[in-house]
Structure 1
Amino acid sequence: MIHFRTAALGILLLGACDPVTTSGMDGLEGPGMIRLTAERPEGAAVDTCWGKKTSPAIIETVEREILLKPAQVTSDGVIQQPAIYQRESIQEIVQERNDTWFEVPCAAKLTPEFISSLQRALAARKIYRGPVTGEMSMRTRAAVRRIQAPDGFDSDILTIATARKLGLVAVERQPAE
């Protein structure tokens, strides 16, 4: 029997090229959103599937003193009237919003055989300790997150880069110069 949550997560992953938001489902902590999308970055091949990690803008409230009226000083340096300032709070964007694209295996490639190979590759690295089922289970997704997190990608959505690192996707050869 498949648990509803496991089945739902499997459907989300298998729909890799559909515009499905998974930020709440994949356990992402903190600000930002990681999602699979039907969009592609500019210049991406048509037969590729992508996800997007969005880091929100960082806004800070800054206190400033604004000079309303300068001090009035006599020619011999005596202050007749002090300067008048007003305190003002404004919000400034410290860091702009940032979208980072990442390539993912398309739904057609996420077969039970591929997922079984993924589970075996993760098990060989002592990252996955569950059974080899060919299903994208919660254990499998947690293992994907554990292997990707040290590379700065804290998500259970398998990237092509991680699949290549595990030997599951061919590495494209660079033309000889």
Structure 2
Amino acid sequence: MIRPLPCLLLVVCVVAGCDAGPTGPEPELQETTATAPPGAAPGTCWGKDVSPAVVETVTEQVLVQPAERRSDGSIAQPAVYRTESRQAIVRERRETWFETPCADQLTPEFIATLQRALGARDLYRGAITGQMDARTRAAIRAYQARQGLDSAVLSITAARTLGLIAIERPR
């Protein structure tokens, strides 16, 4: 009879560059107009955020041979166990497409306004430079994470909620 013992769990990233913190690199982040998701309107710009899969490594001790006991109940030969490890995907790799302002919209004036808007929300604490620097991207990530997008590339949705881009009204 095989009885697994309690297992040890280890969570690891399976995609290189898993560090996606505000100071780390963007894992497979693309900000491009060359590729867009199916059905995207012509002339729109898109970003793609790729979240790596999460794999769980489970290690179990499997009984190979049970212990041999003497007639008085003492152990004549201890049980023999074999260690087995396996991996299971806990969360699949995800690709999230989101519309972004195009490069011609990201003027120094626009970025300076973005920095002020993020500063008013206590997310940006640097000088208003009009440059898309690491501090600005970290503030964008912190703002968008609240809406469920873990990316340092500004989305159209975030730009609209910050009041930087007009919201189109239905006619």
Query: Which TM-score band (shorter chain)?
Result: 0.5 to 0.7
Contact 2:19–2:27 (CA under 8 A) maintained in structure 1: no
CA distance in 1: counterparts of 2:94 and 2:20, whole angstroms: 21
CA distance in 2, matches of 1:119, 1:168: 11
- What amino acid maps onto 1:53 in structure 2? D
- Cα distance change on mapping 1:28 and 1:34 into 2, 3 Å: farther
Partner of 2:8: none
2: distance between equivalents of 1:30 and 1:50? 19
Q: Give the deviation of 1:132 after TM superposition.
A: 1.9
> Following TM superposition, by how much is the alpha carbon of 1:50 offset from its aligned partner in structure 2, in angstroms?
0.7
> In proportion to residue count, which structure has more helix?
1
TM-score, normalization by structure 2 = 0.61
Alpha carbons 1:56, 1:97 under 8 Å: kept: yes
Q: What is the identity percentage for the equivalent residue pairs of Structure 1 and Structure 2? A: 55
Separation (CA, whole Å) in 2 of partners of 1:133 and 1:92: 46
Paired residue for 1:36?
31
5+ residue gaps, structure 2, are 1-16, 60-83
Q: Which of residues 139, 148, 169 is equivalent to 2:144? A: 148
1:134 aligns with 2:109: no
- TM-score of the superposed pair, with normalisation by structure 1: 0.59
User: Structure 1 residues 90, 170: CA separation in 2 closer, same or farther (over 3 Å shift)?
Assistant: same
Is the contact made by 1:116 and 1:133 (CA closer than 8 Å) also made in structure 2?
A: yes
RMSD of Structure 2 on Structure 1 (CA): 3.7
Q: CA deviation at 1:32?
A: 5.4
Q: Following TM superposition, where does structure 1 have runs of at least 4 consecutive aligned residues deviating by more than 6 angstroms?
A: 22-26, 28-31
